[in-house]
A = this chain, B = another copy of it.
Amino acid sequence: MSAPSTAVTSLASADLPMPVPAEEYDRCPVTDVVRLMSDKWSMIVLVLLGRRPHRFNELQRGIDGISHRMLTRTLRGLESSGLVHRRVHATVPPRVEYALTPLGESLLEPLSGLADWAVRNWPEITAARSRVPVS
């Protein structure tokens, strides 16, 4: 029940009266990684690519409601963070395959820990929200 020895973030665990400097949470690795997946589409793209590599339109057909533009932007974002690899086959018509990098695959494991928690506690969260109609 006491705090785990492993800090939740990189923040020091001391109980200081000093304010936490802005850089420590502004560029906090944990915050950054959480935000990486918090946009509307990144998570589902990671999940689908976690099963197997996909082509562009294959991904779009696999995700209900995503626009052409947003799939591009989502993939660019994941690619620029090193989670997704983009392989272009110089054929006609062009063929582009997206797959998780080893880094991207390694994210799935800690993510599933959080996922388990989310699924287990989902009823309690939604119940709490329903008690406060609208903030």
Contact = CB atoms under 8 A, between A and B. Distances in A.
A61 B37 CA distance: 30
A90 interface: no
Interface in A80-108: 80-82, 103, 105-108
Interface in A106-128: 106-119, 121-122, 124-125, 127-128
Interface string A43-87: 110111011100000000111110000000000110111100000
A132 B19 contact: no
Interface in A1-52: 1, 3-4, 6-11, 13, 15, 17, 19-22, 25, 28-35, 37-38, 43-44, 46-48, 50-52
Nearest to A16: B62
A51 B1 contact: no
Nearest to A28: B43
The 8 closest A-B pairs by CB, nearest first: A82-B128, A38-B38, A29-B118, A29-B122, A33-B118, A110-B117, A19-B64, A113-B113
Interface of A: 1, 3-4, 6-11, 13, 15, 17, 19-22, 25, 28-35, 37-38, 43-44, 46-48, 50-52, 61-65, 76-77, 79-82, 103, 105-119, 121-122, 124-125, 127-129, 132, 135
